[in-house]
Amino acid sequence: MKTQTIRRPILAADLVWVVSAMGFAHLLRYGWVWNAYVQGSVLNSAPLLIVTLGLWFLLSSMLKLDGFGGGWYSPAILTQLFVATSGLMLALQVVAYPRHEPVSRLFLFYFWILLFVGFTLIRLAFRHHFKALHRSGAVRRVVIVGSGPLARELASKVHRHPEMLCRIVGFLCPADVATDGQSSAADMISTRTLGVLDILRPRNVNEIIIALPKPGHPEVLELAARCRSQGIAVSLVPHPYELYLSKTQLLNLDGLPILQWQDEPSCGDPVWQRVLDLAMGVILTLLATPVVFVAAALLRYRKGLAFCRELRCGKGGNPFWMYRLNSERYALNLPRYERLLQQLSVTELPQLWNVLRGEMSLVGPRPESPEKVKHYSDWQSQRLKVKPGMTGLAQVHGLRDQHSSEDKTRFDLQYLLERSPFIDVSLLLQTLWTLTMRLLQLPRVRLVPEQTAVERGREFPIEERLSSAHSAQSSAD
């Protein structure tokens, strides 16, 4: 099932729950009151119900609140539903304000709690259903033709989308393509293209996905043709994949497929982001000041210097000084209090000053040193089209300074495609979620590099790696 298809039944379930939740909220607040002339009557809530159904239909469609669109990631789903339902309640307050009979705030509170819990359970139920289908084997068995970062990322993304009902069962790797050391000689199967089908048939492969830099190679075309003739579906990741910082549209021109890259998203500084940075920056600065003051005093007493600054590249590659508490990143044998400050990201709070000065945003790609930026490819340089941020999509997925710029760029460019106030607020809440989880796990904290999202994606079940497909025999053979 495609991601776009799953949105319809989830939206339908949401709308049914809206009706049920309003009924339960009314029952909790007013009891069984049906008379239209009595305060708290069910009939008096009918206009609010119609408005709620309409608003949620628009919100769910525009913001893609199905939970599967960006890959199943629980913190993202919870924070997005929290922001969306809270915004819905504010809208209902505005709609209900001109009414002669005011709407009970307790009724709206019950309604909001029921909506948030119900919407979350609906998505969990769908995910459980798809997981059950995976366990029962009711999935399409897929082989990826390719190797390297692109093949790994594709496998990771398929693993994160259980609604696709696909399972990656192996890889086909041409002999002249490096395997990045992922396969040992023991789990490699070497064969010619003519023999690939003999490998795929016993494994009941339903589809192959071609993820190669040169998908038009005669050998690859022959493989695709043979698979299609045997009823094995063929899909293709278009290249150059690095151009994906734009939305695409497939145009069928008399049977000739044309993949159109639409205009790149605006990479300027939207007014809403600066307003959000200033408003939230002031609030967070007031809340963080006591914590930063205590931490700075401790560092000053122990090390003689409370703050330090690091040269980073901002928007357009322009250098600026980024401020932080004076604690060496990822150093070994740090005192326990410094490990605590780093684990809770207290050391990064002085960057709120960079945000207020307009050098950084609360959300955006993390800034990197001029030495790293100097080695950026044209693709990675697209991160520099916007202000750097204190947190971002890559960070909430576990990527930090010690991880490669390429891995972080994929998340950062995905953020640029979907940038909006809703996404920024959601990412800020996800960051708070991450810090809360770290606080709860402090007794078991060890200073080791975190597992990246790509590495987590490698945990999908690989029954066998088919790292093969040597040169095909010529047609004369």
Q: What pLDDT shows up at residue 452?
A: 44
Cα separation, 291 vs 353, whole angstroms: 15
Listed in order, strand segments (DSSP E) in 300-442 are 307-313, 319-325, 361-363, 389-391
pLDDT reading at 218 higher than 50: yes
Task: Sketch out the chain's domains with CATH numbers.
Answer: 3-134 (no CATH), 139-265 (3.40.50.20), 274-418 (no CATH)
Neighbours of 184 (CB within 10 A): 10
- Which two tokens mark 241? 């994949």
- Alpha carbons within 13 A on the beta-carbon side of 110: 15
- Which two tokens mark 171? 């890889």
Q: Which DSSP category does 104 fall into?
A: P
Give φ, ψ of 137 to 5 degrees: 85, 10
Cα separation, 124 vs 162, whole angstroms: 12
Summarize the confidence of residues 458-475 as an average pLDDT. 38
pLDDT in tens, 254-281: 878 787 776 555 566 789 999 999 999 9
273: closest CA among 315, 243, 244, 309? 315
- Which two tokens mark 310? 């690091």
pLDDT reading at 106 higher than 60: yes
* pLDDT category of residue 341 using cuts at 50, 70 and 90: very high
| Average pLDDT score, the chain | 82
Q: What pLDDT shows up at residue 417?
A: 83
* pLDDT category of residue 96 using cuts at 50, 70 and 90: confident
Residue 125's region, left for phi above 0, alpha for psi from -120 to 50, else beta, is alpha
Cα separation, 396 vs 368, whole angstroms: 17
Burial degree of 36 (CB within 10 A; 0-12, 13-18, 19+): exposed
pLDDT in tens, 176-196: 554 444 444 334 454 566 678
Q: What pLDDT shows up at residue 148?
A: 77
* pLDDT category of residue 242 using cuts at 50, 70 and 90: low
> Is the alpha carbon torsion for 317, 422, 419, 429 positive or negative?
positive
Note the pTM of the prediction, 2 decimals: 0.82
Give the residue with greater pLDDT, 463 vs 114.
114
pLDDT reading at 289 higher than 80: yes
Q: In this structure, are strands 207-210 and 140-145 parallel, antiparallel, or unpaired? A: parallel
* pLDDT category of residue 470 using cuts at 50, 70 and 90: very low
For the ranges 110-119, 253-262, 335-344, 462-471, the one whose mean pLDDT is highest: 110-119
* pLDDT category of residue 246 using cuts at 50, 70 and 90: low
Q: In this structure, are strands 319-325 and 233-236 parallel, antiparallel, or unpaired? A: unpaired
Neighbours of 315 (CB within 10 A): 22
Bridge-partner residues for 361, per DSSP? 389
pLDDT reading at 93 higher than 70: yes
Give the residue with greater pLDDT, 60 vs 446.
60
327: closest CA among 350, 307, 304, 343? 307
Give φ, ψ of 172 to 5 degrees: -110, 120
pLDDT reading at 459 higher than 50: no
Residue whose token pair is 């909006």? 420
Question: 437 Cβ partners below 8 Å, 6+ apart?
Answer: none
* pLDDT category of residue 399 using cuts at 50, 70 and 90: confident
Cα separation, 334 vs 252, whole angstroms: 60
pLDDT reading at 156 higher than 80: yes
Question: 323 Cβ partners below 8 Å, 6+ apart?
Answer: 307, 308, 309, 350, 351, 353, 354
Give φ, ψ of 252 to 5 degrees: -100, 105
pLDDT reading at 67 higher than 60: yes
For the ranges 197-201, 377-381, 423-427, the one whose mean pLDDT is highest: 423-427
pLDDT over 70 for what percent of the chain? Answer: 80
pLDDT in tens, 297-315: 999 999 999 999 999 999 9
Range name among 10-19, 232-241, 319-328 with the lowest pLDDT average: 232-241
pLDDT reading at 248 higher than 90: no
Question: What's the gap between Cα 146 and its chain centre?
Answer: 24
pLDDT reading at 367 higher than 90: yes
